[in-house]
Structure 1
Amino acid sequence: MKSVKLAFYARLALILHAVALTLLFMYLGKTILIPLFFALLISFLLYPLALVLETRFRFPRPLASVTALLSFVLFIGSLVFIISRQVVHLSKDLPQLQTRITASLADVKDWLGDHYHLDDAQQTEYINKSVNGLMGGVANSIGTTFVGVLQTVVLFVFFLIFIYFILDHRRLLMNFVISLVNRDHRAKVQEVVFSVRTLINSYILGLLSEMVILFVLILIALEIFGIKYAVLIAVMAAVLNIIPYLGIYTAMAFSMLITYAGGSGSQAVTIAIVMIVAHFIDANIILPRIVGGRVKINPLVTIVAVLTGHLVWGVPGMFLFIPLTAIIRIISEKVEELEPWAILIGTEEKRM
């Protein structure tokens, strides 16, 4: 069967339609696709453990899959336990935070009166309107908190179920993917799947190593300066840092607020300095050496992927669209017709 050669503008129109329909499908199906894609990434990470249990310890595949899954749940549970203990201690300082905010508002009120000649009545009216609007938003959010928590729990359960079945039925899924193409291309498909699995494993392990190193560095610095809730701040910074360019500054803002609640303004400034220095070390030393060029995506495409992920899947998309873009790059490298996209997504090769 002869292939039809379309004009460039026709191919471009079809590509744009395909991209738009794909993003629309991903947006409408995010309730299922987000936990499913997370489960796929974690399954790639747990696959070596499940394989060792099957081959070396002679575990049946279902038991090996369950054991690998339980090890992941134990890791997540330990992390949640550490964070929850810190949050409980933080909640005791919330009244102190309210007092500090009230005092700061009073200082701002005096400053506005001195510099802009706004009387107390005008400032009080504006503050009351702002507070009433804020309280209304809080009341509405409280009404949906229970539903949100319940939905998160249900999605997490499905996430664990997805991981188990992907591990347990991995050969069936692999056979399905291979059967989608002609026999002449099946070797290439197997090569792509192996490359994707290797990429995801190295990328996630690299991120975990980066998180541990960044956690230790920030924790040591905060302990030296005597910052309260150093463990909580270090964990939050290490976790949010997986969101490129935006995560560390979000962590810095929350950390400064937490520090201001239980410390002083100078300690909050110290937090900002520690975060900026840690981000500099991470971006120039830790990330290139540990994560390095594993995903091989240029910075421009990385930013576009992060913003597109946020638009389509919200905060989870800011993380998930990076390995998804890397997978697209790998597929584009193996398919001749898609090689221009691999060039666009990838990085420039350094010439010696």
Structure 2
Amino acid sequence: MRSVKLAFYARLALILHALALILLCMYLGKTILIPLFFALLISFLLYPLALLMETKLKFPRPLASILSVLTFVISVGLLIFIISRQMVHLSKDLPLLQSRITGTLAELKDWVGDRYHLNDAQQMEYINKSVNGMMGGLANSIGTTFVGALESVVLFLFFLIFIYFILDHRRLLMNFVMALVNREHRLKVQEVVVSVRSLINRYIIGLLSEMLILFVLILVALLIFGIKYAVLIAVVAAVLNIIPYLGIYTAMAFSMLITYAGGSGSQAITIAIVMIVAHFIDANIILPRIVGGQVKINPLVTIVAVLTGHLVWGIPGMFLFIPLTAIIRIISEKVDELKPWAILISTDEQEL
């Protein structure tokens, strides 16, 4: 059968239509696709452990898959345990936080009165209107928050089930992928699968290494300055830093608030300085060498991928679209018709 060579504008139109349709399907199916893609990433990470149990310890594949999932759950549980222990200590300072905020609001009220010549009755009228609106919105959102929390638990259970079945049925999934292509392309497809698995492993290990280094840097700095809840702040900053660009500033706002409750304003400012310096070191030294070198995506495409991920999948998409873009780069490098896209995504600027 003879292939038809389309004009450039026709090919561009088809590409744009296909891209729009794919993004629309990803948006509509995000409830299933987000935990499924997360499960795929974690499955690649747990694959060497499951393979070790099967080959060295002679465990059956279902048992090795279950034990690998349990290892992941225990690791996450330890992280949650460390954070919860710190949060228990933090809860003891909540009355102090309330009193500090009350004092700050009183000072703010006096400043507003002197600056804008508003008496206490006028200020209270404005505050009551704002509070009533906020409480109405809060009452409406309580049910939504409860439903959202319950939905997250259910999705997490499905996420663990997905990991188990991907590990247990990996050969079936590989046979399915091979059956989709002609025999002459199967070797190339196998190379792509191996490359993707290797990339995801290196990417996740790089992220974990980045988190550990950032945790140690922030913890040491906070201990030097005598900041309370240094472990909690360092853990929150390291975990939220996974979200590109926004995570570190969210951690900074949270850390400044709890530090102001148990310390002073100068210590809260110290927190901000430590976070900004740590983010600068991470963005310019740690991330490019440990994580950026694994995915090999140029900064422009990285920013576009993060924003597109947020548009399609929200906060999870800001993290997931980076390895997804790296997978697209690997596939594009192996397919001649897609090589221009590999050039656009990669960091290689050598002339052709």
- Cα offset, 1:47, TM superposition: 0.3
> How big is the shift at 1:230?
1.2
Mean Cα deviation higher: 287-296 or 21-30: 287-296
Matches within 5 A, 1:148-167: 148-167=148-167
Shift of 1:203: 0.3
Tell me if 1:185 matches 2:185: yes
Listed one character per residue, the Cα deviations across residues 253-289 of structure 1 (whole Å, up to 9, x for unaligned) are 1111121122111111010011111112212222233
Counterpart Cα distance in 1 of 2:140 and 2:170: 44
Paired-residue identity, %? 84
Shift of 1:350: 6.8
In structure 1, distance between residues paired with 2:319 and 2:66 = 26
Determine the structure 2 residue equivalent to 1:252.
252
Superposition map of 1:279-318 within 5 A: 279-318=279-318
Measured in 2, the distance between the counterparts of 1:131 and 1:97 equals 19
CA-based RMSD of the aligned residues comes to 1.5
Determine the structure 1 residue equivalent to 2:78: 78
SS of equivalent residue, structure 1 residue 59: coil
Q: Tell me which residue corresponds to 1:3.
A: 3
Structure 2 partner of 1:344? 344
Per-residue deviation at 1:335? 0.9
Q: Residue type matched to 1:145 in 2? A: T
One-letter amino acid of the counterpart of residue 67, structure 1: L
Instruction: Please report the TM-score for the alignment, with normalisation by the length of structure 1.
Output: 0.96
Separation in 2, partners of 1:97, 1:139: 23
- Cα offsets for 1:102-144 (capped at 9, x unmatched): 2222222222222333333332222222212222222222223
What's 1:172 paired with?
Answer: 172
- How many residues in Structure 1 have an aligned counterpart in Structure 2? 351
Give a deviation string over 1:51-79, Cα, whole Å, max 9, x none.
Answer: 11111111111111111111111100100
Cα distance in 1 for residues equivalent to 2:230 and 2:194: 41
Q: Which amino acid aligns with 1:193?
A: V
Q: For structure 2, list consecutive stretches of 5 or more residues without a partner in the other structure.
A: none
Whether 1:202 aligns to 2:202 is yes
Q: CA deviation at 1:202?
A: 0.1
Which is worse superposed, 85-94 or 332-341?
85-94
CA 1:350–1:286: 2 relative to 1, 3 Å = farther
What's the CA shift string for 1:328-347, capped at 9, x where partnerless? Answer: 11111111111111111111
Q: Structure 1 unaligned runs (5+)?
A: none
Once the two structures are superposed, the pairs formed by residues 66-105 of structure 1 within 5 Å of their partners are: 66-105=66-105
Corresponding residue for residue 46 of structure 2? 46
d(CA) in 1 for partners of 2:335 and 2:151? 40
Deviations for 1:186-234, whole angstroms, at most 9, x for unmatched residues?
1110011111000000000000011011111111111221211111111
Cα distance in 2 for partners of 1:133, 1:237 equals 32
Q: 2:226: which partner in 1?
A: 226
TM-score (norm 2): 0.96
SS in 2 for 1:118: coil
1:91 is displaced (CA, Å) by: 2.1
